[in-house]
Amino acid sequence: MEFMGYKRADGRAGIRNHVLILPGCACASESCRIIAGQVKGTVNVIINTGCSDVAANTEMTQRVLMGFALNPNVYGVVIVGLGCETVPHKMLREKIQAQTTKPVVSFGIQEEGGTIKTIEKAVRAARELVEKAGMEQRVPCDISNILMGIECGGSDATSGISANPVVGELSDHLIDWGASTMMSETIEFIGGEHVLAKRGATKEIHNQIIRICQKFEEHLSAAGQNCRDGQPTPGNKDGGLSTLEEKSLGCIRKGGTRPVVEVLEEAERPTKNGAIIMDTPGYDIASVTSMVAGGCNVVVFTTGRGTPTGNALVPVIKVTGNRLTYQNMTDNMDVDVSAVTEGEQRAQEVCGSLMEELIRVCSGKMTKAETYGFSDVCIDHICRFV
C-alpha cells in the first residue's frame, strides 16, 4: 500500500512540506508568529520555555525543538532566538544541522537590533525556503514510511468500546504492513499496565513498561499527590467512566495487540519499527507535542467528549465513537465510528474506512484542525528524568 508523500534525504517521507518558524525560547515566540503570518507556506509554534530553567528541563526543551526541526513533515527551518536564552539560536541551529541536510537558518533579536529588523530578515529567509520547498513534488511512498502517533483525550464510555478498538485495529494493520505506531500517556496506563506489559517483545521491555508507571506514581507521591485524585477527570466521569482501571484499559486498547518493541523517553526518536511506547504525562497536548518531536508524521486522536486540538507540523485526525459528539462538533471531528458503539458494525469493519481516511490525509487531505490553523504545543516542564 502507498500514499503520496515527500521523500526526504534521510530516507523518511513527509506527508506535509512545511517551512517551520521555530522560536528558541518563549521570548521569540511572538516574533515567530508574526513572521509566519507574513509568509504563506510557513508554520510556527509557540513555546513557554527555553530560559531560566534547570538543566533537565533545558534538555527537554532542546529535544522537543530539535525534534520539531527534524520531523519529516518539515522541509526547512528558520530559528529565531532572543540572544540571552539558555541555548543560543546559533547553537541550536548547529545541533540541528549536525543531524540533517535540510536548510536551517537562524537570527537573534538582540543581535539584529530588535523585533522589526529581525522579522524583516527572517521573512526574507522564509520566503526563499518556501520557494525551494515549492519545487518538491509528492511521489508514491510505501506505507512503511508512516509513523503514526496514537492519542486520546476527552474520553467517555464510548472511547474504550468503539473509537479505541477501531484505532487499535488500524495500528495492528499498519504494523503488519511495515509501518510504526506510537502510544503515550504513561499515567493512563496505570491500572492496566500489567495487561500492556504482556505485549512487551522481551522481558526487558515488559519490565520497562511496569517501571515507567511505577516511576510516575513515585514522582507524584514525592510531590504529595496521587494520580487517582485526578484520574478519571471530571469530564471522563460525566461521560460515564467510573474508575482508573476502566479508563486505562480503554486507553491501552487503542495501541492494538502487536508486540511492543521499544519504550522511549519524551520526545526521543525511535530506533526500531513496530509498536512503540513513549513515556509522557497524561496531558494530551504535551503527549502529542512529544510524539511529533519523536518523528510522528501523523496523529490519530480518539475522543468521546470532543476536542479541537491540532498541531502545526502534523495532521491530527479526530475519531469519535459518540454519535452525539460527532453531530455537535462536526467542525472538529474527522471520523465517526459510532456504528461500532451502536452495534451496527464491528471494529474490524470500520477500520477499513479509517485506513482509507488515513491514506487520504497522508496524501494531502487536510484535517479539520489543519483548516483552522490550530497549533497546540506544550513542553513538559516537570524535571522527572534525572
3-state helix, strand, coil in the chain (%, to 5): 45, 15, 40
Helix orientation angle between 244-253 and 164-176, rounded to the nearest 10 degrees: 30
| β-strand pairing of 13-14 with 2-7 | antiparallel
pLDDT < 70 stretches in the chain: 230, 237, 241, 382-386
CATH, domain range 18-133: 3.40.1400.10
- Gap between the Cα atoms of 291 and 299, Å rounded: 9
Question: Rounded to whole angstroms, how far apart are CA atoms 286 and 282?
Answer: 8
**What pLDDT score was predicted for residue 238?**
78
Q: What is the pLDDT at residue 227?
A: 75
Instruction: Kindly tell me the burial class for residue 264, based on how many C-beta atoms sit within 10 Å of its own C-beta (0-12, 13-18, 19 or more).
Output: buried
Helix, coil or strand: residue 334: coil
Give the residue among 99, 97, 92 at the shortest CA–CA distance from 59: 92
Q: For the segment 17-71, what is each residue's pLDDT rounded down to a tens digit? A: 999 999 999 999 999 999 999 999 999 999 999 998 889 899 999 999 999 999 9
Other C-beta atoms closer than 10 Å to the C-beta of 10 total: 12
pLDDT for the residue 382 = 63
Half-sphere exposure of 374 (CA within 13 A, CB side): 20
Q: Supply the pLDDT for residue 154.
A: 87
* Per-residue confidence (pLDDT) for residue 385, from 0 to 100: 45
> Helix axis angle, 284-293 relative to 55-70, nearest 10°?
60
Q: Which of 270, 262, 159 is nearest to 205 (CA)?
A: 262
Residue corresponding to grid cell 497536548 = 285
